[in-house]
Chain A
């Protein structure tokens, strides 16, 4: 066997391994693209006895509530969702009740110290939304006990 032939035989082994690796990478890439591009709902498991679930809108609203966040339905909802739930949950907003000035002051405080961006022309829309749906009510100096779950006390 000449040196040339021996060299070629050895190289062929390496070459084959390379082809296999390339093929695996290609298949993995195709699979990744497939899963990325395909909506999750289309990955059905019907053949395994699972049934497909209906297409769910991530911004579905039921009984006036944006299900994903708990925000109230209304003009400015999506502007608020998109700008106000990046760092903290919507719960931090929906728990609170503030006047228009209070909401503006809170936005300013977040811009000054919490890295909130400039809201641009969406700011008045968001402030309007918040001041409409999360506005204070007068609670007086002490409220009645509410939502009492009555139960029989056994002792």
Chain B
């Protein structure tokens, strides 16, 4: 079997290189005729992910965690969700990587090597919550288009790098700066080299925050390739798409950045609320900024059977975009009554917070433990789906797990 595969792959790649048709042809070839090596890529091995992670899409690669996999206080790589709009760049050479700062609102265009960044600027480490804007999309009704994320497109890892603001100030920001937009090395799904899969960014105020990093380390190691090696913009608390991977260029714009996925219905929601299923014109859509308050019960895994009389310890995380979570509660009676959880302070601004509680159940039977976080402005998670929007963003409805007392 191995030999057969080897022969086939060798011959196929030989044909490809001999005829010079690899890219164009490769992309158009029906899947069954692609070299086996491509078909049989094991994402768990390829990206060093736990086998409990769920593959939503293999081209482009999109994987999500499940609630119980996210129990660590700091998310390790193996449980971090993967979100791609395009194809992961190949053959990245960190030693030759450069970052260009340019744009209408920069004093002078400047190019930095990774070494320039590491040695020229002070380094900082923060725990930063990154959640996909479409996390929870699968629940919207009518359904919203895109990868059907359930609850696992969120992480909070340690990110180490230099402050974007230090680098921007080194290049010089003009008074007319409005936004920064990133440009990355990933490849469009159609392999059209003139197209960028995604080029988003943040307003200049967010770019200048202390915690907004040009990161080169995740959890004290080089950033894994799939998460943006060798350089990633990290803007915690905002849709994770604002945290561009494989960043080669940051443009300081004198307008709201207009790269792919900044316009239309991408990462935008109706400026004014709409009824489910409404059509919304592009000009009536507004860019998502901070993510809303949300929480996850990460222990126990949903489906626990317990002897009646035993207490159940639960724990999890809560986060609130730009804000802090000020209160964490649980309910075992579908919201009739809410009990308070013990809630930690965040390790730093924009890090998720940990909570625990010990629960007693009044009698045998089926229960759901619902968790509800409230942010520092008093806004709590809804128990039902929040406002419908065309692309199904910002679902922060309460998470719940099933428990049976036997």
A interface residues (Cβ-Cβ under 8 A, vs B): 32, 35-36, 40, 43, 45, 50, 58-59, 68-69, 81-82, 85-89, 91-92, 95-99, 102, 106, 113-115, 136, 138-143, 145, 148-153, 155
| A140 to B, closest residue via Cβ | B141
B287 within 8 Å of A (CB atoms): no
A97 partner residues in chain B, CB cutoff 8 A? 143
B interface residues (Cβ-Cβ under 8 A, vs A): 1, 3-4, 7-8, 11, 14-15, 27-28, 30-33, 55-60, 139, 141-143, 145-148, 188-190, 192, 195, 260, 300-306, 310, 312-313, 368, 383-385, 397, 400, 402, 404
Once bound together, how far apart are the Cα atoms of A154 and B8, in whole Å? Answer: 50
B188 partner residues in chain A, CB cutoff 8 A? 114-115
Find out whether the CB atom of A88 lies under 8 angstroms from the CB atom of B4.
no
Shortest distance between the CB of A64 and any CB in chain B (Å): 19
Find out whether the CB atom of B303 lies under 8 angstroms from the CB atom of A106.
no
A153 partner residues in chain B, CB cutoff 8 A? 300, 304-306, 312
Instruction: Label chain A's interface by main secondary structure.
Output: loop
Once bound together, how far apart are the Cα atoms of A69 and B14, in whole Å? Answer: 27
Once bound together, how far apart are the Cα atoms of A36 and B33, in whole Å? Answer: 12
Jot down 17 A-B pairs with beta carbons below 8 A, ordered by A.
A35-B7, A36-B11, A43-B4, A58-B30, A82-B30, A85-B30, A87-B59, A87-B189, A87-B190, A91-B56, A91-B57, A98-B143, A98-B145, A136-B142, A142-B383, A145-B402, A155-B310
Find out whether the CB atom of A148 lies under 8 angstroms from the CB atom of B302.
yes
Find out whether the CB atom of B145 lies under 8 angstroms from the CB atom of A96.
yes
Find out whether the CB atom of B27 lies under 8 angstroms from the CB atom of A87.
yes
Find out whether the CB atom of A92 lies under 8 angstroms from the CB atom of B147.
yes
Find out whether the CB atom of A85 lies under 8 angstroms from the CB atom of B4.
no
Find out whether the CB atom of A142 lies under 8 angstroms from the CB atom of B30.
no
B33 partner residues in chain A, CB cutoff 8 A? 58
| B305 to A, closest residue via Cβ | A152
Find out whether the CB atom of B32 lies under 8 angstroms from the CB atom of A58.
yes
Find out whether the CB atom of A145 lies under 8 angstroms from the CB atom of B368.
yes
Once bound together, how far apart are the Cα atoms of A6 and B51, in whole Å? Answer: 71
Find out whether the CB atom of B30 lies under 8 angstroms from the CB atom of A81.
yes
B8 partner residues in chain A, CB cutoff 8 A? 35, 40
Once bound together, how far apart are the Cα atoms of A148 and B66, in whole Å? Answer: 13
Shortest distance between the CB of B239 and any CB in chain A (Å): 19
A151 partner residues in chain B, CB cutoff 8 A? 301, 303-305
Shortest distance between the CB of B25 and any CB in chain A (Å): 11
Once bound together, how far apart are the Cα atoms of A3 and B189, in whole Å? Answer: 66
B260 partner residues in chain A, CB cutoff 8 A? 113
| With A95-B57, A153-B306 already in contact, 10 other A-B pairs whose C-beta atoms are closer than 8 Å | A58-B30, A95-B148, A96-B143, A98-B145, A114-B190, A115-B188, A115-B190, A136-B142, A140-B141, A142-B384
| B55 to A, closest residue via Cβ | A91
**CB contact under 8 A between A32 and B11, given known A91-B56, A145-B302:** yes
| B30 to A, closest residue via Cβ | A82
Shortest distance between the CB of B158 and any CB in chain A (Å): 29
8 closest A-B pairs (Cβ-Cβ)? A58-B32, A115-B190, A153-B304, A89-B59, A139-B141, A87-B189, A141-B384, A95-B148
Find out whether the CB atom of B58 lies under 8 angstroms from the CB atom of A86.
no
Shortest distance between the CB of B138 and any CB in chain A (Å): 8
Find out whether the CB atom of B404 lies under 8 angstroms from the CB atom of A150.
yes
**CB contact under 8 A between A95 and B147, given known A89-B58, A142-B397:** yes
Once bound together, how far apart are the Cα atoms of A96 and B1, in whole Å? Answer: 36
